[in-house]
Every structure is written in structure tokens, then in C-alpha cells.
Amino acid sequence: MLELIREGLGLEPGYFGEELTGDQLLSINHYPRCPNPSLTLGLPKHADADIMTVLFQGSVNGLQVFKDGQWLGVEPVPHAFVVNIGHQLQIISNGKLRSAEHRAVTNSREARTTIVSFISPCPDTIVEPAKSVIDTGVPRFRPFKFKDFFKFYEEKKRDPEAVLEFYKIKP
């Protein structure tokens, strides 16, 4: 998938090498059936800190994305994966691609179990906009070590715009 994204952005072959995609975390999440889903969220709104997130959501509704000012349910497709762009890919693309703000909600009829793979840069990797995607010659984000970004992200992750704003270069 990253190879196709690399090609679409016009980046050189091998751009998403081991430093940018060397860390992978696998997470299994279980959301019990909730008789009154309005009382709790499975996972509050956020955008992922990584390069890309690959989610197997099973057959039970629960994933929602924020688009045009409203939460939209992502219908499960049998035997399919949902791929979310993370903050790091938004930065590397200099804002051409956007990280997806999303949340998980509980279901009143069925429990839900998801399997998630987070693909991230190695901690000491410097992340910055790829030079070949900077149209105006001016990057929109400053360079940083991924571990520093992730520490800040953990403090501010419920406000995805604030996370990115901190790393934007001000005109």
C-alpha cells in the first residue's frame, strides 16, 4: 500500500524504507455490547500518530470518521481492511494527504473485536515533508524526531489539529 502511495506522491523508489516504517504495533481491541451506547464511547475522537493504520473491523458497526462536520459510520465490508492515513503521512506529503479523524462507538446489540496494525517510523527517525512534494518550495511542517512527536501526541491526541499545528511552519 505504501509503495502505491509513494508512487502516487511521486517519491523516489524505496522512500518508505525501514526507518520510516520499521516499527509496527499490533493491537486487538474488544468493545463489549453496550445496552445504551449514548452513555459511552469505545474510543474518543483522534487521528493516528503513525504513517498508516490497517484495521480489520469484522462485521459489527463501530468505526466512525469525521467528515464535513459530522460523524459518518464506516460500514464493515466482509474480509476487508480499513486503511487510515496517519499524521506522519500527512506531514511527509506536506499536507497533500490528510490524517483521518475517527472514533469507535459501542453497539447496543453485539460486541465488537478489531485487529489493528500501526505502521510507524523508528523512534529516532527524522520526519519531514518529502522535498519532491513541496510545490511552493516551502515546507508546511518542520522536521522532528518521531519519538518527540509521539510524546507530544500523547498529551494532545484528543485534539488532532493542535498536534499538527505545533509542527507547522508559520508564514
Per-residue model confidence as pLDDT tens digits over 63-79: 999 999 999 999 999 89
Q: Express as a percent the part of the chain with pLDDT over 90.
A: 79
> Domain tally for the chain?
1
How many angstroms separate the CA atoms of 111 and 37, rounded? Answer: 12
Residue-wise pLDDT tens digits, 98-132:
999 999 999 889 999 999 999 999 999 999 999 99
User: Residue 19 is placed in which grid cell?
Assistant: 526507518
pTM, two decimal places: 0.92
Quick check: 41 pLDDT over 90?
no
Query: In whole angstroms, how large is the CA radius of gyration of the chain?
Result: 17
Domain coverage including residue 150 = 2-167
* Mean pLDDT over each residue of the chain, to the nearest integer: 93
CATH number of residue 117's parent domain: 2.60.120.330
